[in-house]
Amino acid sequence: MLTAIIALSALAGIFGLLLGFAAVQFRVEGDPVADQIDALLPQTQCGQCSYPGCRPYAEAIAAGEAEINQCPPGGEAGVRALAELLGREPIPLNAENGVEKPKALAVIDEATCIGCTLCIQACPVDAILGAPKLMHTIIAQECTGCELCIPPCPVDCISMVPVKETVENWKWPYPDAPAPLAATAERVESEQSSSPVAA
Amino acid sequence: MKEYALILVSTILVNNFVLVKFLGLCPFMGVSRKLETAAGMGLATTFVLTLSSICAYLSNAYLLAPLGLEYLRTITFILVIAVVVQFTEMVVHKTSPLLYQVLGIFLPLITTNCAVLGVALLNIQEQNDFIESGLYGFGAAIGFSLVLVLFAALRERIAVADVPVHFQGAAISLVTAGLMSLAFMGFSGLVRG
C-alpha cells in the first residue's frame, strides 16, 4: 500500500517536473508587437478590417501586411494610438472598411424573433442566448456592437441601439488617446451653447 | 523479423483497432467528416500511439512489475499518456510550428482516445517486449489512420449522395462503418493472432 502511494506520487512528481521544465524550456515567444497592437484594438471581433478577428488583424499589422486604418470601431482615436505605438503618421480611416459609428448594442425584437439560431452562429463573442424555436435575446454586457448578427436574420428583428452615456458607464477619457473628433466637437459645441460667457 | 512483420499486418488489418476491436470510435466518427482533418488526426495519433506505447511499456517493466504494483496499470498508463501528449505538444510547438499547425487541435484530443490506453494495456496482455510494443503501437496507429482516411473518403461521397431522409447524418455513417467492419472481418485468417 505504502509502496504504491510512494511509487505513484514519485511518478507523478517526476512527470510534473518534466512538464514544468518543458514549459520553461520550450516556451514559444508570442509576437510582443502583435500583443501590444491587439491590446489597442477594440476587440469587437467584427471583421470589418477584412481579417477574421482583432487578433489576426493585429498579427497582420505586426507583419506589415495591413495598414493601421482598417478598424472602424476603433475610430480615429484607435488609428492615432496605433500610429503612436508603431511610430507612424496617423492616417484617416479607410472608407472601404466602413465608417466610424457611435458605440451601439444589438437589440432583438423578441416579438418578431422566430428562433432560427442564425444570429447565434454569427455572433463572434457568444453574446446571444437562445435555442431553436425559442426567442433569442442579447446579453448586453457581452455585446460588442459588431453588427455581424444583422445580415443573417431572416425576419430583420435585430436593431442597433446606440449606447447613451450614463452615470454608470461614463469614464474619464484616456489622456493619451484623445476622444474621437466628432464627439469632442459635439461636446465643445454644447459647452459653448450652454455657457457662452464662461470666460 | 517474421514476427515483427506479423505484428504489423495483424494490427493494421486483421485486428484493426477501430473496426475489429471497436476502440477509438469517437475520433472515428468525430473527425472523419473531411479528408484533411482525418489525415491530420491519423498523423497525430500515429505519433502519440507509438510513443505512448513505448513509454507505457517502460513504466510497466521498470516501475510497476519490480514493485509488484501491476494493479495500478490503468491509472499509471493514463498518467503516462497524458504527460506524453502534453510534452509532445510543447516540443512540436517549439521545434516545428508547421507540424504544430497541421496537427493542431488533434494532439491534445488524443489524450482521451481509448485506443491509446487500449494499446498500452493490450501490450501487457500479449506480453510484448520493448520492440514489439513499439511496433504494436505503430501498427495500431497505422490501422487507425488507414480506416479513418478510408471512412472520411466514404463520408465525403455520402455527403453528396441521395440518402433517404431517415438515414441521413449519423445513421448512414454508422451503417457505413458497420459495412466497413464486415469487410475488415474478411482479413481474419490472414494471420494467426
pLDDT tens column, A1-13 = 888 899 889 999 9
Residue A188 has pLDDT above 70, yes or no: no
Cβ neighbours of residue B95 closer than 8 Å, sequence gap 6 or more: A26
pLDDT, residue A9, reads 92
B65 touches chain A (CB under 8 A): no
pLDDT, residue A196, reads 45
Residue A73 has pLDDT above 90, yes or no: no
pLDDT, residue B144, reads 93
Q: Across chain B, what does the average pLDDT equal? A: 86
The x, y and z cell numbers of residue A109, run together, are 425584437
A→B contacts (Cβ < 8 Å), by residue, are 3-4, 7-8, 11-12, 15, 18-19, 22-23, 26-28
Around Cβ A123, how many Cβ atoms within 10 Å?
22
pLDDT, residue B38, reads 86
Around Cβ B7, how many Cβ atoms within 10 Å?
24
Interface test with B, best of A2, A5, A18, A26 (most B CBs within 10 A): A26
Tell if the CB–CB gap between B94 and A11 is shorter than 8 Å: no
pLDDT, residue A177, reads 52
pLDDT tens column, B100-120 = 777 777 778 787 788 889 999
The C-alpha atoms of residue A55 and residue B148 are separated, in whole angstroms, by 33
pTM of the predicted model as reported, rounded to 2 decimal places: 0.62
